[in-house]
Structure 1
């Protein structure tokens, strides 16, 4: 080889060595930083509250929860927890249990809605680790839905606002599980955007049918899984009742909404979506007095929906994601399709 070839070879070797050294150094720094934070300590979250039941009292998803739990063997859950805790040494067990429960709630919503974006980076991290067990995940999907529950990869398009999807996510989530400050921290602020009026019109139409001509609810599970059909029918009936009430209800005067009371919260969300969608965001502000009744030691420690309702703009294209809670865009996300 001539001298030019030798020089090029040496340059390539030096560059390769530099790149490898850079990544080794970067990984070691990351590891050192994680060790500086005591295990179980995550200052950005504050004190993690006690985990509530997976569904609220009277939820129409009770049988669907049983189906989900039956589809998740203890061995699979144990392997997943061990893997996540190993990959994220700064995560406490309590934090893991919250994320895992929120992921299970997400799966339940996938059985109800036709498409469910993943609005939480924290919850999505657990889902990614779950997918690493390919065979076990396939078995879980088959047992729970009867077909594969696909994970839509985050490719950058998750930052495109999808406010209608987020509005449906919030509504169905609260109908099934209720609202909690810490859930709002993981998912981002709730009820920043209204349900679209045209879809509310469609749902209340006498000709509305889940298995014909609509693309919001999961027609597959509605036909194949009785527990999913039960939950979907209950959600639709509840929504229809709330729309009818909103159509005749006098103008609301209160300036704050009790997020702790699911019935009050959903009634307000449907009322303002129907009657004042342009003022939806400023009307759907949590009543901090009610929050403090249930958590007197906290001053909005967890909820990105606290105070002025979060930093989200009306179109939901931004959220207080810098705290590491929900997605950096409360109306954006990858998600599932089945």
Structure 2
């Protein structure tokens, strides 16, 4: 077996895995919409959705209150959770391939913090329509700038060093978090506005609306399509820059394009959900164990698994201490931080 074949993995599992994750995601979405202070049965959920999407079919049996709960509150939240989780997982998978570092993750590298500080600056310093329009753009710009700075800081003699990459990302994350705290403290209207910003910084899907789903969903679909077309390039990066260059790939230019794509993904989801960490670290590793490292399958399976994970975590966040709601980011950190420490120790052992 060649080195490339060992990197790509066995070809017989991916189709089954993707099918299983699709079914599990649908089940999780229905469960997410059904559970809460008012429990709604799956058949009523399906009829409400069908009534809105296909009004000429069988009329819904749900009451007006149930219809409003399903369509206006819970379904947008469940779908937003799926989109955010999918985007973060895909961004993590791409970063891990591009820098060939198993610790790569938008949160660990400070990319989420860069998006957050730019978005919070817009929320606290801008007013009215300007704030609403510019938050996604600001988050993308912050994510991209942070990614490029971390990458430049991690270079040593023209090459990226994995240890420097992690240290630079952690340092940038702390720096940007302190800037975010300063912006919150100096906000002109401290009361409820600051409280909502702090909740947003912890990662929350509570403000999900249909209007906020369009942009992140469109960006996710388009970027996954583009990345799948670049799957062979990502596979080549796994083997090394020299191998990628020998295949005719302009390593520097393609790496920059991939950084822009991941920054766009992270920026648009941070703008609508806040900073939710470790999804991009945990999910791609789990998917490599199941489907292998071929990005033609790793990317879609990571998207499905990331969406599934965040939908399930959001269910727990809403129900475990009901009626109090936990920030989603706190739960993903509780899952991801021990995994990060285990991975860091494992990487240290393999380096010795």
Common topology (TM > 0.5): no
Higher normalized contact order (CA 8 Å, seq sep 6+, divided by chain length)? 2
Q: When the two structures are superposed, what TM-score results if normalisation uses the length of structure 2?
A: 0.22
Point out the structure with max Rg over C-alpha: 1
Greater helix content: 2
